[in-house]
Amino acid sequence: MINIPTHLKGRDFIRTQDWSKEDLMTVINTAESLKFAFKHNEPTEFLKNKTIFLMFFDKSTRTRNAFEAGMTQLGGHAHYIDVSTSQIAHGESAKDTGIILSRYGHGIAIRHDLVPYEGEKYMREMAFWADKPVINLQSDIDHPTQTIADLMTIFERFGTNLRGLKVAVSWAYTKSYAKPVSVPQGLIMLLTRFGMDVVLAHPPEYKLMPEIVEIARKNAEAEGTKFEIVDDMEYAFKDADIVYPKSWGALELFGKPEESLKLAEKYRHWIVDEEKMKLTKPHSIYMHCLPAARGEEVTDEVIDGPHSVVFDEAENRLHTAKALMALLM
């Protein structure tokens, strides 16, 4: 029988940085128990008759479906809201929406990631007024339900003592839209707290938000880990245990798609292929939050090859989503 600790009930989950390492470990331990129960067809109806509202300002495959399927498996109901079809599209405030939804249900989860310096502000405003927990399904700053699943996946591969492992968080090329910076930002904030030496690699124009880089630096200092920023993917991959290369947009060019795509063309060679994977340690893992741009960010040989753990990561989105809902609601 799974024991769901109660000390996290009612908390918001907006950045992993807001939570202690112990509380983050509670999420992962609970997710492991729920994963075991899922594999063995054991019932997990910890949220019978409860409702979570999932508000999406952007598209999603994994996040939406992990939370919808997860809530059904917990015995409750996830209510999907495409905000373009709600009164939010006519300007209804975060305050009013948060108060009303929290009177109708037991939790609110939000994806609002497309415009730098808007999404997290919206979530924190809603969390202030809503008297139910608010979960960040990806903001402009962090993607904590992704990175907690990533950390669980890393534990599954390397055990929980990650001291001294080298992880390369790298920009990669794509010709699609300018993707948010929240995944690399979330990774550098979280992984520096869990014993890993983090190398962040990107072309000069693809800097992350300076205040987030500063948090990662301070985390590394406090934890005795290393944090380095370079502009060379090969250097970052050298002897890495973990590589996590993905595309993101240049912050100054959000909202300017033509300029953004033109800039990215300069860096087509930032693709992960077998040659680059040879630079890493033999046991290294290739990670990606997905969706991946095959043939642009990564070759099929790598993403479908022996180093890749992308489908384990995606699967762990379900188990960590369930853990978060069960613990917070």
The residues that touch ligand CP, with contacts defined as CB under 6 A, are: 60-63, 138, 146, 289-290
CA 99 centroid distance within chain: 26
Comparing CB distances to ligand CP, the nearer of 66 and 220 is 66
Nearest to 260 by CA among 272, 278, 271, 248: 248
Residue 140 CB-density burial (10 A; 0-12 exposed, 13-18 middle, 19+ buried): buried
- Whether 247 and 180 have beta carbons less than 8 Å apart is answered as no
What's the min distance (Å) between Cβ of 176 and ligand CP?
12
Comparing CB distances to ligand CP, the nearer of 51 and 63 is 63
Comparing CB distances to ligand CP, the nearer of 30 and 138 is 138
What's the min distance (Å) between Cβ of 182 and ligand CP?
9
What's the min distance (Å) between Cβ of 111 and ligand CP?
7
Angle at the Cα of 65 (from 132 to 177), degrees rounded to 5?
A: 100
What's the min distance (Å) between Cβ of 60 and ligand CP?
3
What's the min distance (Å) between Cβ of 273 and ligand CP?
22
Comparing CB distances to ligand CP, the nearer of 33 and 145 is 145
What's the min distance (Å) between Cβ of 14 and ligand CP?
16
Comparing CB distances to ligand CP, the nearer of 220 and 272 is 272
Comparing CB distances to ligand CP, the nearer of 163 and 294 is 294
